[in-house]
Amino acid sequence: MFTWRSIYRYFTRPHWNFIKDLILQTHCAVVAPDFPLLPDYDYKPRLDMVYEVYNKLLETTDNKNLVLMGDSSGGNMALVLAQLLHENNKPTPAQIILLSPWLDVSMSNSVLKTKLPPDPLLSYQSAIKVGKAHAGHADTKFYQVSPLYGKLKGIGKISLFTGTHDILHPDARKLKKIAQEQNVPLNYFEYNSMVHAWMLFDLPESQLVKQQIVSLLKSPVS
């Protein structure tokens, strides 16, 4: 299941092209829920919808054959969903693949207050504003809003792709550290000088990411 990045915009052509390439190379089936968006809905209806879709998939598909993947806020949702499934004692996915994930919508990482990564695609102030709208009446550090504050153990095999020029990069490194502290294996792929969601663009580095994702999807998961 692919949870796409925009919580306030519809599916984009780069998303479709990215998914199409993965399908052609792996012959897997992809479900991409068309969930409710800002400004009309906060995180809860979106999470409720993907939770329902995932449980519907479990009726016909073994969880060992299910993968959650998402970019930016979609990566947020993929990780939150896995955490919620584990909390509710539901079968968790075999893998969670996070692409430039938005892990903490509070944007409170101290690194961001001292030196922002040179990301031309995301604005720090805009991210704070959208993060508050996404949270609605919930605390921006509630794990169902910001999965950086949720548990990682037992939720599935995690892989994370991040670029050093992405404004969300400091929290990607923070998740890596948390995974190490919780003794949770995490495949961490860091690309130098890459901006937010670069893997969706037509770049040599994007092709390498796709190859790495294909390898992950084809690899056996214990």
pLDDT tens digits for range 107-130: 999 999 888 888 888 889 999 999
- In the prediction, which pLDDT does 194 show? 97
- What would the mean pLDDT of 213-219 be, rounded to a whole number? 94
Tell me the pLDDT tens digit for each residue of 33-76.
988 888 889 999 999 999 999 999 999 999 999 999 999 999 99
d(CA 149, CA 70): 18
d(CA 91, CA 62): 9
First to last CA, the chain: 20
- Return all residues near 217 (Cβ < 8 A) that are at least 6 apart: 22, 26, 28, 67, 95
| DSSP letters for 150-216 | S--TTS-EEEEEEETTSTTHHHHHHHHHHHHHTT--EEEEEETT--TTGGGSS-HHHHHHHHHHHHH
Better-scored residue on pLDDT, 198 or 116: 198
Domains of the chain in sequence order: 2-161+179-213 (3.40.50.1820)
